[in-house]
């Protein structure tokens, strides 16, 4: 979105609990968007469309989301911009017990 004037930059978030016990988060912007050929590649490690950047942010994000049993994807935002979505399973009691073993006290 850096190509837009500050007053035209809009970032919106939406969250929804689905019937299959997941939460879906969508992050949409009003930037130039993603062409279909780029949308298929944005999660590849070291793929970037920017002059400055390593192209690892989305690859790392997808790895983290998938490590937690979720998924990360993109959809077009018409008439402009892009939408990145991710879904994560909601915690149940058993998962909560497993997670407690990894919590760190910040006293």
19-57 confidence digits (pLDDT tens) = 888 899 999 998 888 888 888 899 999 998 888 888 999
Strand partners, 75: 83
* Residue 107 domain flag: no
* Residue 68 domain flag: yes
Question: What is the distance between the alpha carbons of residues 38 and 36, in angstroms, rounded to a whole number?
Answer: 5
Question: What is the distance between the alpha carbons of residues 48 and 84, in angstroms, rounded to a whole number?
Answer: 16
Cα torsion for 97, 98, 104, 107, to the nearest 10°?
A: 0
Sequence-separated (6 or more) residues with CB below 8 Å from residue 18: 24, 87
The CATH code of the domain that includes 84 is 3.30.565.10
* Residue 1 domain flag: no
Tokens, residue 80: 């402009």
The total number of structural domains in the chain stands at: 1
* Residue 65 domain flag: yes
* Residue 42 domain flag: yes
Residue 5: helix, strand or coil by DSSP?
A: coil
The whole-number pLDDT of residue 69 equals 93
The whole domain housing 65 covers 6-100
The whole-number pLDDT of residue 27 equals 95
* Residue 53 domain flag: yes
* Residue 106 domain flag: no
* Residue 59 domain flag: yes
pTM for the full predicted model = 0.74
């Amino acid at each position: 979105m850096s190509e837009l004037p500050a007053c035209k930059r809009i970032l919106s978030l939406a969250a929804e609990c689905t019937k299959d016990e997941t939460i879906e988060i969508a992050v949409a912007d009003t930037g130039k968007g993603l062409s279909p050929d780029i949308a298929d590649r944005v999660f590849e490690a070291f793929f970037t469309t920017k002059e400055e950047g390593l192209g690892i942010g989305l690859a790392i994000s997808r790895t983290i989301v998938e490590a937690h049993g979720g998924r990360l994807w993109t959809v077009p935002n018409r008439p402009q911009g892009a939408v990145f979505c991710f879904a994560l399973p909601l915690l149940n009691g058993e998962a909560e017990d497993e997670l407690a073993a990894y919590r760190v006290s910040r006293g």
